[in-house]
A and B are shown apart, each in its own frame.
Chain A
Amino acid sequence: MDALIYTLMSGAERGMRAQQIHANNLANLETGGFRADLELATSKAVNTGYGYDARHMSQLQANSVASRAGVLRQTGQDLDVAISGQGYFAVQFGDGEAYTRAGHFVVDQDGQLTLDGRAVLGDGGPIVLPQFTRVQIASDGVISIQVPGMTELQQVDRLRLVKPEPAEVTKNPAGLIVARNGEPFAADETVVVRSGHLEGSNVSAIEEMIAVMNLTREFEIQMKLYRAADGMAESGNRLVGG
C-alpha cells in the first residue's frame, strides 16, 4: 500500500484531536478563571523505511495554557477575588500546591477559606478566618477582618500569590495550574488582586469558532486526499488485473 494514506492519516487524526481541545475550550467559555489550552501541530520526520525523505507525520502538541487575562466582572461579594494582570492564587492540592485564577472563595464551617472544597493558601499555609462581621481583601492580598464588637479591621493573613512566566506552567489532570518542573513558585509581591470581582474564562469564542471551522475543512481535505490515494491504488490494481 502506498505510504501516502498513512501520512495523511496522521494529519486527520491530529485534526480530530485538536478539535477536542477547542471543544473543551468552548465548553468552558463560562467557567470562572478558566485558562484556554493551546494546541500546536508539529511535524515528525519518518526516517526509517523505504523511499526518499518526503514523509513527515503530523503530531499534536498541547500542554500550554493561554495567559491572556479574562474579563473581570463585578459581583459585590467580599470573598470574590480576581487577579488583575498576571498571577495565580495558590490552593492546596494533595500534599503540594496548585494554582488557579478562579477566586470564588467560600468560608467553610470551620472558618477555613476554600475554593471548590480545596483550601486556599496564605503566607503560612491554609487560611483560617475567625468569626467576623466584615472581611476585606486588599489589593496586595492582605485579608483583614472586623471581629464582632470591634470597630477596627485587623489583619489576619495574606493570600499566597505567585507570578510565574507563561512558559513555566502547565495544567494537571484536575485542571489546576502547576509548575512544569513540579517545584512550588515563590510568592510575588507585585500581583494585584481586586476584591468584589470575578474573572471569567479567557477563552476567545471567535478564535475557537474559527479554529473549529478551519479544522473541519482541513479534515475534509484529508478525506479528499484519502480518496485520491484510494483511486491511485485502484488504478494500480486494474493495471495488474488487466
Chain B
Amino acid sequence: MNPAMWISKTGVQAQDAKLQAIANNLANVNTVGFKRDRAVFADLFYQVERPPGARNDDNTVSPSGVQLGNGTRLVGTQKVFTTGNLQTTGQTYDVAIEGQGFFQVEQTNGELAYTRAGSFSINDQGRLTTAQGMPIAPEVTIPPNATNIVIGEDGQVSANLPGQAEPVQVGQLTLVNFMNPAGLLALGDNLYQETVASGVPIEGTPGQDALGKLRQGSLEGSNVQVVEEMVDMIAAQRTYEMNTKVLSSADNMLQYLAAAVR
C-alpha cells in the first residue's frame, strides 16, 4: 500500500491533538490562574534506504542517498508559565502572585498540590482554603471575630482582634518554586503535582529569592490569548485539510493502479 497514506494519517492525528489543546485553552480563557498548553511536535524517525556515499559499483559512489520520513508525532504538551493579567477584585481573600511561585494546597489524600489560583475563602473552622475548599498549607486560621484582614506582600497575614489596637499576625503564607515548572503534572481544578521532571519544590517567603510578591485584592487571570488561539486554530484546521488531501491523492494513485490491471 502507499506509505504516504500512513504518513498523512500521522499529520491528521497530530492536528487533531493540537485542536484538542486549543479547545481546552479557549474553554479556560476565564479560569483564574490557568496556564495555556502548547502542543509540541517532532518529526518521526527517518528510514534511510540508501545512505549517501554508498557504492554503486567498483568505480562510482552514489553522491546522495534516499531518506524517507515517517510523519509527525506529538512530543507532548508544554504548560506555558507566563503571567496572566492581574485583575483587581478588592476581595479580602483574593491573592495574586506577581512573579514566580505556587501556593501549596493539601489534597484530601494528604499530599500537597500546587496552584496559582488565589481565589481563596475560609471554611467553617476559619481555615484559609481554595475555592474548592482544599486547605492551604502552611495552615492559616483566621480567628472568628477578626476584622481588617491584611495579606502582606511577603505573605504575612495579620488581622485586628477585638480589644487590641495593634494588628496581630495570624498566619504566614509561603510559596514554592520549581526548577522546571513546565514539568509539573496538571491535575485539573487549577492544581499541579510535583513530578520527576519538575524537580523538588523549594519553599520560601514571597518576595524573596526567586519568588514573586503577593497582591491582596487581585487575581491572576488565565494567560490564554484568544487571538493567538484563534490563529492557531485556523492553522491547525488547514493543515488537517491539506493532510487529508494528500491522503485522498495517495488513494487516487492506488485507484489508477488498480484500474490499470485487468
Binding site for B on A (CB under 8 A): 12, 15-17, 19-32, 34, 37, 40, 60-64, 75-77, 102, 104, 106-111, 116, 131-133, 148-149, 170-175, 180, 205, 208-209, 212-213, 215-216, 219-220, 223-224, 226-227, 230
- Indicate whether A226 sits within 8 Å of B260 (C-beta atoms), given known contacts A19-B2, A64-B64: yes
Contacts of A111 in B (CB 8 A): 179
Contacts of B45 in A (CB 8 A): 173-175
| CB of B143, distance to nearest CB on chain A (Å) | 34
Contacts of A216 in B (CB 8 A): 249, 252-253
Q: How far, in angstroms, from A110 to B200 measured CA to CA in the complex?
A: 10
Contacts of A224 in B (CB 8 A): 260
Q: How far, in angstroms, from A20 to B4 measured CA to CA in the complex?
A: 4
Number of interface residues of B (CB under 8 A): 68
Q: Do residues B253 and A19 form an inter-chain contact, with CB atoms below 8 A?
A: yes
Q: Do residues A106 and B183 form an inter-chain contact, with CB atoms below 8 A?
A: yes
- The closest CB in chain B to the CB of A35 belongs to B43
Q: Do residues B69 and A227 form an inter-chain contact, with CB atoms below 8 A?
A: no
Contacts of B257 in A (CB 8 A): 12, 219, 223
Residues 19-51 (chain B) with a chain A CB within 8 angstroms: 38, 40-48
Whether, in the assembled complex, B224 has its beta carbon less than 8 Å from a beta carbon of chain A, the answer is no
Interface membership of chain B positions 211-228, coded 1 if the CB is closer than 8 angstroms to chain A and 0 otherwise: 000000000000000000
Majority secondary structure, B binding face: mixed
Contacts of B41 in A (CB 8 A): 28, 30-32, 34
Interface membership of chain B positions 66-99, coded 1 if the CB is closer than 8 angstroms to chain A and 0 otherwise: 1111111001001010100000000000000001
- Indicate whether A22 sits within 8 Å of B179 (C-beta atoms), given known contacts A27-B14, A171-B46, A220-B256: no
Contacts of B260 in A (CB 8 A): 223-224, 226-227, 230
Contacts of A28 in B (CB 8 A): 11, 41, 43, 69, 71-72
Q: Can you give 15 contacting A-B residue pairs, CB < 8 Å? A: A17-B68, A19-B246, A23-B7, A27-B11, A61-B66, A62-B67, A63-B64, A104-B40, A108-B199, A109-B196, A116-B75, A170-B52, A175-B46, A223-B259, A223-B260
| CB of B224, distance to nearest CB on chain A (Å) | 13
| CB of A178, distance to nearest CB on chain B (Å) | 11
Q: Do residues A131 and B253 form an inter-chain contact, with CB atoms below 8 A?
A: no
- Indicate whether A31 sits within 8 Å of B42 (C-beta atoms), given known contacts A26-B246, A109-B197: yes
Whether, in the assembled complex, B65 has its beta carbon less than 8 Å from a beta carbon of chain A, the answer is yes
| CB of B41, distance to nearest CB on chain A (Å) | 4
Q: Do residues B236 and A104 form an inter-chain contact, with CB atoms below 8 A?
A: no
Contacts of A16 in B (CB 8 A): 2, 4, 253
Q: Do residues A29 and B11 form an inter-chain contact, with CB atoms below 8 A?
A: yes
- The closest CB in chain B to the CB of A129 belongs to B179
Whether, in the assembled complex, B104 has its beta carbon less than 8 Å from a beta carbon of chain A, the answer is no
Whether, in the assembled complex, B168 has its beta carbon less than 8 Å from a beta carbon of chain A, the answer is no
| CB of B31, distance to nearest CB on chain A (Å) | 19
Whether, in the assembled complex, B150 has its beta carbon less than 8 Å from a beta carbon of chain A, the answer is no
- The closest CB in chain A to the CB of B198 belongs to A109
Instruction: Say which residue of A29, A37, A61, A76 sits within 8 Å of B242 (CB atoms).
Output: A29
| CB of B79, distance to nearest CB on chain A (Å) | 10
Residues 185-202 (chain B) with a chain A CB within 8 angstroms: 196-200, 202
Contacts of B208 in A (CB 8 A): 148-149
Q: How far, in angstroms, from A175 to B10 measured CA to CA in the complex?
A: 15
Q: How far, in angstroms, from A170 to B250 measured CA to CA in the complex?
A: 26
- The closest CB in chain B to the CB of A181 belongs to B53
